[in-house]
Amino acid sequence: MYTEQLSSKFWESGCFVMNCSENVVFGLQELSFTDTKPSLFPSFFFDNFFLNRKKKWVLGKEFFQLSADNFILQMDSILFSKPNISWLGPNYTDYKKLFSLLDEKFKDHFLHKGVPFTHVHGSFEIKAEHILYLVKTIFKKTQPTSNYLFGIWDKNLKFGIIGSSPEVLFLKKPNHIKTLAVAGTFTNHDLNSAPREKLNKLFKEHKIVVSGLEQELNSKGEIKCGQMKIIPQGSYSHFVTDIDLYPKDDLDVTNLLQAIHPSAALGGFPKENARSWLDEIEKKYVKRYLYGSVITHMESEQSAICIGCIRAIHWQDSEVFISAGGGVVKESVLDEEWLEIQLKIKFIRDLFEL
């Protein structure tokens, strides 16, 4: 059923993505989850980083499509509460361990790039009034022209993730699929005065991500890569390259995700070796929880947007996380990478005013 009104139930169980180019918010209220692909559109799809969530198709009692201004206006009339979270971390020792493990993989030529990550975390029960605060805050603080806003949460399943991501996994239209290579993080100061060695490391990291996507998509159709550009993200920026695919056959959402995710920007390179390394990290060292999960809004079989869920706050039961990772190659320096992690976590905390 279609509605133009957000109900109180939305803040207990809901999801949304914002199409920034059109300034439109799509969402569902009162969610249910199934392992069967819906026969009706619009629909949503949500999966974890490893793409092994059992019930990944998302249904809702009501669907809405609102302008961003209307969405914000409806939020303004509801009382909200800022979550009071005492944060712990990030843990330098744990991150250093992952960095050292990666160095061994580089020496063995098992990996050319990896993406270690860490969290800050705290104990807090996120309720509807806190979700309203989080969503309201990012809508008022994010530059919608460069990021994609997203969120999904459920009171009964006691989980959620809300964020503002530069990582668009794909935009699907009839006979055309666009993806982005987003890699290489630097401050404005770095771009103007960083040593040549650091800039070379950033360029190498970005080139690996572009090459990885080209390899995965090359057999799917004709590929065209744009020129690398710089996208600002608050106190830092990313290198970004647009990649357009003109598929020779139709690719559904699950096939596209298997090809694109995780790219070298979020996982590593080569892709299958990176999966093995990430599985090892998950089992032995640090869990991802919802960091790097994916959310997709499907208007139809031929039209969809899929977002990589980073730059976010996420929670499971009463444990809340803010997570950050960064691409590491053999030329990377531990303390520089750790500084980048801290910068990203601060950016996210500032984004939510937490």
Domain regions of the chain by residue span: 2-351
Q: Which two tokens stand for residue 97?
A: 């361990």
C-alpha span between 220 and 176 (Å, rounded): 11
What tens-digit pLDDT sequence spans the chain (354 residues)?
888 999 999 999 999 999 777 789 999 999 999 999 988 888 999 999 999 999 999 999 999 999 999 999 999 888 899 999 999 999 999 999 999 999 999 999 999 999 999 999 999 999 999 999 999 999 988 755 578 999 999 999 999 999 999 889 999 999 999 999 988 887 767 666 767 777 788 889 999 999 999 999 999 999 999 999 988 877 778 889 999 999 998 888 888 999 999 999 999 999 999 999 999 999 999 999 999 999 999 998 899 999 999 999 999 999 999 999 999 999 999 999 999 999 999 999 999 999
| Contact assessment for residue 290 and residue 316, using Cβ atoms and an 8 Å cutoff | yes
Residues 6+ apart with CB under 8 A from 250: 301, 302
Cis peptide before 90 (omega within 30 of 0): yes
Q: Look up the pTM and report it.
A: 0.95
Pairing of strands 2-3, 57-67: parallel
What is the structure's pLDDT at 118?
96
Beta-bridge mates of residue 47: 294
CATH architecture designation of domain 2-351: 4-Layer Sandwich (3.60)
b/e per residue, 100-125, with b = 16+ CB within 10 A?
ebbbebbeeebbbbbbbbbbbbbebe
Tell how far CA 213 is from the center of its chain: 17
